[in-house]
């Protein structure tokens, strides 16, 4: 991505600086640096170094501007909705970047965006799972469990989150129906995934509670600096749902980045993650139900990977990453689903 890309902050630096000055209550603002940040496959993330003259933000500030990428996915929230979710989480005490300003107008970048404070650290999953500074990862896993429980303390109804719609009555059944519809819309047949969908349909548990679920709470979507959690990222897929879906997603083998000895996100022991969650929520985690949601996690990622691949094969989006995702990931995930759903598990409800 270059600074001259459509809507890039660097291409309209003067207009953006004027906007930031107005929102910050500053006499003026100067954008000292613009940096395209990694991890923007669906959204663009830009690091900004801004100097404000007078006002509450006087001095140099490190900010992140988040806006739409050239291509996106239909199930991703718009930037205004994502901003509302980020604000709700921040106000609930979740360790997340502070949301500052939302711009819903076309000016100054030609599309909506929002600005948040930049938090230090790295989010790269392949680096975090090999970070010797984390020790056995128990401390970080416990922190993450506590943060997830804080997210799940946000419950419907919420007027500020009305766009999420009514809470589902049966989240597991809804998830299965969504997978089936998504596969039916794709041009290829996926027998192993159909097997997994049938298993999940037959074993679907009733949900005991409905909360806000992040839906992408995993290694790669949080920031760590010197072994310390600094921020939870990427709120674009949030929904009302079963909180165990988030726990299954975080612990699923597909998000351990090869560190299968550390079942909590590839960074620590599952027991520590569960301990952190229970300490804040006051509720013990049902391991069998989580096992169900881990199968769902692999199905969901497989469907997404196929959809990403179709962006390359069917829509002509020139991206090696999309091509490899659509070709390789579904095979790996299908194998994991088959291993998780042997015939012996078909008769026992989770």
Instruction: Report pLDDT for 74.
Output: 61
Sheet containing 28-36: order of strands: 28-36, 43-53, 59-68, 113-117, 99-103
Quick: pLDDT tens for 267-323. 999 999 999 999 999 999 999 999 999 999 999 999 999 999 998 888 888 888 889
Determine the 3-state secondary structure of 11 from DSSP: helix
| Planar angle of CA 344, 349, 350, nearest 5 degrees | 100
Look up tokens 């009302």; give the residue.
240
Indicate the DSSP class of residue 73: -
Quick: pLDDT tens for 133-184. 999 999 999 999 999 999 999 999 999 999 999 999 999 999 999 999 999 9
Q: What is the arithmetic mean of pLDDT over 67-88?
A: 85
Q: What share of the chain is helix, strand, coil (3-state, %, to 5)?
A: 45, 15, 40
246 touches 217 (CB < 8 A): yes
Q: Dump the DSSP string for 171-197.
A: HHHHHHHHHHHHHHTSSS--HHHHHHH
Look up tokens 């009733």; give the residue.
206
323 CB-near residues (< 8 Å, 6+ apart): 309, 312, 313
Q: Dump the DSSP string for 253-285.
A: GGGSTT-TT-TBTTTB-HHHHHHHHHHHH----
Determine how β-strand 99-103 pairs with β-strand 113-117. antiparallel
Above 50 in pLDDT, residue 1? no
CB neighbour burial string for 3-29, b if at least 16 within 10 angstroms, e if fewer: eeeebbbbbbbeebbebbbebbebeeb
Instruction: Report pLDDT for 5.
Output: 45
Structure tokens at 59: 């001095």
Backbone angles phi, psi at 278, to 5 degrees: -65, -35
Quick: pLDDT tens for 222-239. 999 999 999 999 999 999
Look up tokens 């989580």; give the residue.
290
Above 90 in pLDDT, residue 2? no
Q: What is the arithmetic mean of pLDDT over 79-93?
A: 98
Alpha-carbon distances, residue 66 vs 33, 59, 110, 122 (angstroms): 16, 22, 13, 17
Give CA–CA dist 68/342, Å, rounded.
41
Quick: pLDDT tens for 6-33. 446 877 899 999 999 999 999 999 999 9
Determine how β-strand 211-213 pairs with β-strand 99-103. unpaired
The mean pLDDT of the chain is 93
Determine the 3-state secondary structure of 8 from DSSP: coil
Quick: pLDDT tens for 247-273. 999 999 999 999 999 999 999 999 999
CB neighbour burial string for 130-165, b if at least 16 within 10 angstroms, e if fewer: ebeebeebbbbbbbbbbbbbbbbebeeeeeebeebe
User: What residue ranges define each of the domains in the chain, with the CATH number in brackets?
Assistant: 9-117 (3.30.200.20), 125-345 (3.90.1200.10)
Q: Dump the DSSP string for 80-149.
A: HHHHHHHHHHHHTT---PPEEEEE-SSTTTTS-EEEEE---SB--HHHHTT-GGGTTSHHHHHHHHHHHH
Instruction: Report pLDDT for 231.
Output: 98
């Amino acid at each position: 991505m270059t600074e001259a890309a459509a809507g890039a902050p660097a291409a309209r630096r003067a207009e953006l600086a004027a906007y930031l000055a107005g929102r910050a209550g500053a006499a003026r603002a100067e954008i000292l640096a613009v940096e395209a940040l990694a991890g923007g496959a669906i959204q663009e993330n830009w690091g900004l170094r801004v100097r404000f003259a007078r006002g509450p933000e006087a001095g140099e500030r490190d900010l992140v501007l988040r806006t739409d990428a050239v291509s996106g996915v239909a199930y991703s929230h718009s930037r205004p909705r994502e901003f509302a979710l980020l604000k709700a989480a921040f106000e609930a005490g979740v360790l997340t970047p502070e949301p500052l300003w939302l711009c819903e107008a076309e000016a100054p970048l030609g599309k909506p965006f929002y600005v948040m404070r930049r938090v230090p650290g790295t989010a790269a999953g392949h680096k975090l799972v090999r970070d010797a500074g984390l020790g056995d990862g128990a401390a970080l896993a416990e922190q993450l469990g506590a943060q997830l429980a804080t997210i799940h303390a946000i419950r419907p109804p919420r007027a500020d989150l009305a766009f999420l719609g009514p809470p589902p009555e049966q989240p597991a059944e809804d998830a299965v129906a969504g997978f089936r519809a998504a596969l039916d819309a794709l041009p290829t047949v996926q027998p192993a995934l159909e097997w997994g969908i049938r298993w999940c349909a037959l074993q679907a548990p009733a949900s005991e509670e409905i909360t806000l679920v992040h839906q992408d709470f995993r290694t790669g979507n949080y920031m760590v600096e010197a072994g310390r959690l600094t921020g939870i990222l990427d709120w674009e897929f949030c929904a009302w749902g079963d909180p165990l879906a988030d726990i299954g997603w975080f612990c699923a083998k597909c998000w351990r980045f090869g560190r299968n000895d550390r079942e909590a996100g590839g960074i620590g022991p599952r027991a520590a993650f569960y301990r952190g969650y229970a300490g804040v929520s006051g509720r013990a985690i049902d391991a069998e139900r989580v096992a169900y949601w881990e199968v769902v996690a692999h199905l969901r990622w497989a469907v997404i990977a196929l959809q990403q691949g179709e962006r390359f094969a069917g829509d002509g989006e020139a991206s090696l990453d999309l091509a490899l995702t659509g070709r390789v990931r579904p095979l790996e995930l299908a194998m994991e689903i088959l291993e998780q759903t042997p015939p012996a598990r078909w008769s026992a409800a989770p």
